[in-house]
């Protein structure tokens, strides 16, 4: 959106707000803003969700969870997904408003994406994010926002970068927790994605986090909301609180003494809209002299500017989008494609792809084999159709292959039937495995085991995981099925890294399906039977356990994520197998090398395998000079490509100038020096990736 158009909308908003009384203006600062009939202002509810599809407002296309979309490593594809979500959001908004329905989850201000860094695998909400890397998260966050908002003079929908900032658990402590970080970690890890969302994607909304950061509650932080967001980054949109986070100021953080003081602290820091009820006391704060009428008016203008940007008063081209665009066959086909691209093949001893013509029987076993909950992740819409892994396999093999099914175990309880004995389904599972040519074992978690604090079904209340182990019931099932001696393919449905050491040793193959969306079973079957090659990459590190990780409450990056971890992971960040054999033969600088403009690398890539496949070319960089560079090479560029069997191709990939900078101990981004080593390949340049793939990244040294 041009600056001229922005100013135009802000002017119209200011003129409208000027006609309101102070009390009317204050009333507009609640997420459920009332209508003002005398000014022809309808009611509007700012709270809506669109993490991986329009959520909580009825039928919609349910794409794979955000962490699975991240595993695609493709900003252009994610932008297409977000554009579809915006189309469905408009279709539903138009239909609902025509019926006079303007309640929660029916507006056009979507509180997505979540660009927090998934710094610790125990965090229950990590699957809402794009993983552990600031560069990957930045690129994907920008792409999602541009796709959701569009890039014209009217916003197709309004996106929201959340949760600002330094927020990634523990969930059980979030309402009173102070996330303490040093300046280097703050500016190197926790803020880059937000900065990119503001400066590059022009995100309309930023949501504050529940916790404190460096002593200040995030939704009332002068440092975050004033000094960084408004002043340093020149943010022009509006800020919303997380839901009931401002109430935490006086009830949990204890930085204020009353709701009146909390409302004032948040508003004066720059929080424009309150998801919650504390701003209902704003007029009392005003009468006490805690806030000014100018501050109230300023927040109201920002909110009405957003509504004018959306065309809610003057109309827009998007008003013609009809409900037939929602949950369409084309959109669901894109969701299946997203699931296919995002699933990560972690192990394959050659058993995959399965040959339908050579199979007489398949056992499909496990609590997630026929689970619809495990398809969706959290913050999801209502699919008109679900396809579980069991259903996808049955559809794929038809009547030609006998499919045996057993639940095998409860997801986390020690029995399926209340009156049964412990492990009451394991005998059935073992029996099915023994009479089948191969077993597809579907284990993992769902949103009831990892999710947001307070969600009704969380087995661990907080939503976080206490460790990386599968629930005990599933571990016993895994051992029993592997103990039959028949080949086992593990399909893992989960949103985070798990301890898969036993599975890695005993299973013939492991396919990480994430929470693959409503039609994820179709995608899983297509991968298992070779209709398409797996091509997803891990956006997080799969550790062997939490034993050598820092405490969950410690926000220092030392020892965390692939950039700072010094141990050997089970499966590294950026790793994922295909049915091809793609590697980088060579890499060189193409043209001028410049710290100001970045560089372009020329990479010769070859698929030495017998199957065509997509794969993700990745570039990592390590400064040879700077003491401030992370200890391990860091992702600085990536590109999804397609190669036929035996095909070789020269590719060019741009490395941004930012890659040649580092963050010092004061939080300043400075030059990383003169000498660098860059690695190009289809995974990290680490020993574990080499051991798993049998391929080593190509390298080039450059001097600026």
Query: How far is residue 136 CA from its own chain's centroid?
Result: 11
Last residue in a domain, options 286, 318, 350: 318
Catalytic residue among 242, 248, 272, 686: 242
Which DSSP category does 549 fall into?
Answer: S
306 and 415, same domain (yes or no)? no
Q: How far apart are CA 485 and CA 454, in angstroms?
A: 42
Query: Which has the higher per-residue pLDDT, 458 or 174?
Result: 174
Q: How many domains does the chain have?
A: 3
What CATH number should be reported for the domain holding residue 587?
2.60.40.10
Express each pLDDT in 489-504 by its tens digit.
999 999 999 999 999 9
The reply to whether 118 falls in a domain is yes
Dihedral in degrees, nearest 10, Cα atoms 597, 166, 151, 617: 50
pLDDT of residue 455: 61
- Give the burial string for 607-629 (b: 16+ CB within 10 Å, else e): bebebbbbbbbbbbbbbeebebb
The reply to whether 323 falls in a domain is no
Express each pLDDT in 321-346 by its tens digit.
999 999 999 999 999 999 999 999 99
What CATH number should be reported for the domain holding residue 215?
3.20.20.300
- Kindly report the average pLDDT of the chain as a whole number: 97
Q: What does the radius of gyration of the chain's CA atoms come to, in whole angstroms?
A: 25
Burial of 642: CB neighbours in 10 Å, binned 0-12, 13-18, 19+: middle
The reply to whether 560 falls in a domain is no
pLDDT of residue 196: 98
End-to-end CA distance of the chain: 36
Q: How far apart are CA 133 and CA 116, in angstroms?
A: 10
What CATH number should be reported for the domain holding residue 468?
3.40.50.1700
- Structural domain boundaries enclosing 478: 329-540
The reply to whether 344 falls in a domain is yes
279 and 138, same domain (yes or no)? yes
pLDDT of residue 593: 81
**H/E segment holding residue 489:** strand 488-493
Last residue in a domain, options 488, 517, 540: 540
pLDDT at 246 over 90: yes
Token pair belonging to 61: 């296309």
The residue among 466, 468, 525 whose CA lies nearest residue 499 is: 468
Query: Which has the higher per-residue pLDDT, 595 or 299?
Result: 299
Last residue in a domain, options 476, 509, 540: 540
Sheet holding 402-406, edge to edge: 344-348, 509-512, 488-493, 438-444, 361-365, 402-406
615 and 682, same domain (yes or no)? yes
The reply to whether 347 falls in a domain is yes
User: Average pLDDT for residues 435-448, to the nearest whole number?
Assistant: 97
**H/E segment holding residue 199:** helix 192-199
Contact 555, 568 (CB under 8 A): no
Q: Is 242 marked active-site?
A: yes
pTM value?
0.98
The reply to whether 485 falls in a domain is yes
607 and 463, same domain (yes or no)? no
Write down the residue that tokens 């990560």 correspond to.
Answer: 344
1 band by pLDDT with thresholds 50, 70 and 90: confident
57 and 205, same domain (yes or no)? yes
Q: What percent of the chain has pLDDT over 90?
A: 97
pLDDT at 532 over 90: yes
Contact 306, 237 (CB under 8 A): yes
Q: How far apart are CA 107 and CA 101, in angstroms?
A: 10
pLDDT of residue 525: 98
457 band by pLDDT with thresholds 50, 70 and 90: low
292 and 390, same domain (yes or no)? no
Token pair belonging to 273: 């809209």
pLDDT of residue 363: 98
500 and 591, same domain (yes or no)? no
User: Average pLDDT for residues 31-60, to the nearest whole number?
Assistant: 98
- The percent helix, strand, coil of the chain (3-state, each to 5) is 35, 20, 45
User: Average pLDDT for residues 537-545, to the nearest whole number?
Assistant: 98
Q: How far apart are CA 213 and CA 167, in angstroms?
A: 8
Give 348's Cβ-side CA count (13 Å radius).
Answer: 22
Write down the residue that tokens 């409302």 correspond to.
Answer: 263
284 and 344, same domain (yes or no)? no
User: Average pLDDT for residues 267-280, to the nearest whole number?
Assistant: 98
pLDDT of residue 461: 62
298 and 340, same domain (yes or no)? no
pLDDT of residue 563: 98
424 and 486, same domain (yes or no)? yes
User: Average pLDDT for residues 382-403, to the nearest whole number?
Assistant: 97
Coil, strand or helix at 418: coil
Contact 212, 134 (CB under 8 A): no
pLDDT of residue 652: 97
Coil, strand or helix at 650: strand
Express each pLDDT in 186-220 by its tens digit.
999 999 999 999 999 999 999 999 999 999 999 99
pLDDT of residue 594: 80
Token pair belonging to 535: 């091509």
Write down the residue that tokens 């969701």 correspond to.
Answer: 335
**Are β-strands 488-493 and 438-444 bridged in parallel, bridged antiparallel, or unpaired?**
parallel
252 and 389, same domain (yes or no)? no
The reply to whether 569 falls in a domain is no
pLDDT of residue 586: 98
* Bridge partners of residue 603, in order along the sequence: 587, 651
303 and 342, same domain (yes or no)? no
Q: What percent of the chain has pLDDT over 70?
A: 99
Burial of 413: CB neighbours in 10 Å, binned 0-12, 13-18, 19+: middle
pLDDT of residue 460: 57
Express each pLDDT in 551-608 by its tens digit.
999 999 999 999 999 999 999 999 999 999 999 999 999 988 887 889 999 999 999 9
The reply to whether 557 falls in a domain is no
Coil, strand or helix at 11: helix
Burial of 55: CB neighbours in 10 Å, binned 0-12, 13-18, 19+: buried
């Amino acid at each position: 959106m041009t600056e001229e158009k922005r100013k135009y909308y802000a002017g119209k908003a200011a003129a409208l707000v000027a006609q309101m009384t102070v009390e009317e203006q204050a009333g507009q600062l609640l997420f459920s803003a009332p209508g003002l009939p005398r000014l022809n202002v309808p009611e509007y509810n700012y709270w809506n969700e669109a993490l991986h599809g329009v959520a909580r407002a009825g039928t919609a296309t349910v794409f794979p969870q955000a962490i699975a979309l991240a595993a695609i490593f493709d900003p252009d594809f994610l932008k297409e997904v977000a554009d579809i979500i915006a189309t469905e959001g408009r279709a539903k908004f138009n239909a609902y408003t025509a019926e006079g329905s303007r309640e929660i989850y029916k507006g056009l201000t979507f509180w997505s994406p979540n660009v927090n860094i998934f710094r610790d695998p125990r965090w229950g909400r990590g699957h809402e994010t794009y993983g552990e890397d600031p560069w990957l998260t930045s690129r994907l966050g920008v792409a999602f926002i541009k796709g959701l908002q569009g890039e014209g003079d009217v916003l197709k929908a309004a996106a929201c970068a959340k949760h600002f900032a330094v927020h990634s658990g523990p969930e059980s402590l979030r309402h009173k927790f102070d996330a303490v970080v040093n300046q280097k970690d703050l500016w190197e890890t926790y803020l880059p994605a937000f900065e990119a969302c503001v400066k590059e994607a022009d995100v309309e909304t930023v949501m504050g986090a529940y916790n404190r950061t460096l002593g200040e509650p995030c939704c009332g932080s002068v440092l975050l909301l004033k000094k960084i967001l408004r002043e340093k980054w020149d943010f022009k949109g509006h800020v919303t609180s997380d839901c009931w986070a401002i109430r935490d100021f006086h009830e949990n953080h204890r930085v204020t003494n009353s709701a009146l003081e909390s409302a004032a602290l948040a508003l004066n820091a720059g929080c424009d809209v309150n998801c919650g009820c504390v701003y209902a006391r704003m007029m009392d704060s005003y009468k006490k002299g805690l806030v000014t009428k100018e501050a109230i008016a300023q927040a109201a203008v920002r909110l009405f500017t957003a509504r004018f940007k959306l065309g809610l008063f003057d109309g827009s081209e998007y008003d013609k989008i009809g409900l037939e665009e929602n949950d369409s066959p084309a959109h669901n086909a894109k969701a299946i494609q997203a699931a296919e691209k995002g699933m990560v093949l972690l192990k394959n001893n050659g058993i995959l792809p399965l040959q339908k013509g050579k199979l007489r029987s398949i056992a499909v076993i496990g609590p997630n084999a026929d689970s619809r909950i495990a398809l969706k992740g959290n913050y999801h819409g209502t699919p008109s159709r679900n396809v579980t892994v069991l259903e996808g396999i049955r559809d794929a093999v038809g009547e030609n292959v006998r499919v045996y099914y057993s639940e095998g175990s409860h997801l986390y309880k020690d029995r399926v039937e209340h009156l049964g004995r412990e492990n009451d389904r394991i005998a059935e599972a073992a029996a099915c495995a023994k009479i089948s040519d191969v077993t597809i074992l579907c284990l993992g978690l769902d949103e009831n085991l990892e999710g947001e604090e307070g969600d009704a079904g969380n087995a661990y209340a907080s939503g976080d995981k206490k460790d990386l182990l599968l629930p005990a019931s599933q571990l016993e099932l895994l051992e029993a099925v592997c103990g039959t001696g028949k080949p086992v393919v593990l399909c893992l449905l989960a949103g985070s890294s798990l301890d898969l050491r036993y599975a890695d040793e005993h299973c013939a193959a492991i396919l990480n399906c994430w929470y693959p969306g409503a039609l994820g079973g179709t995608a899983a079957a297509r991968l298992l039977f070779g209709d398409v090659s797996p091509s997803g990459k891990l956006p997080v590190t799969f550790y062997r356990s939490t034993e050598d990780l820092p405490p969950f409450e410690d926000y220092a990056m030392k020892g965390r994520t692939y950039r700072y971890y010094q141990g050997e992971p089970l499966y590294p960040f950026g790793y994922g197998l295909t049915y091809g054999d793609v590697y980088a033969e060579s890499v060189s600088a193409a043209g001028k090398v410049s710290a100001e403009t970045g560089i372009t690398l020329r990479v010769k890539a070859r698929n030495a395998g017998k199957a065509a496949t997509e794969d993700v070319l990745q570039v990592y960089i390590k400064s040879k000079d700077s003491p401030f560079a992370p200890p391990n090479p860091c992702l600085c560029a990536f590109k999804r490509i397609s190669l036929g069997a035996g095909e070789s191709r020269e590719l060019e990939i741009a490395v941004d100038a930012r890659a040649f900078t580092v963050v010092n101990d004061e939080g300043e981004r400075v030059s990383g020096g003169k000498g660098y080593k860059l690695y190009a390949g289809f995974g990290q340049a680490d020993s574990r990736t080499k051991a798993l793939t049998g391929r080593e990244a190509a390298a080039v040294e450059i001097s600026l």
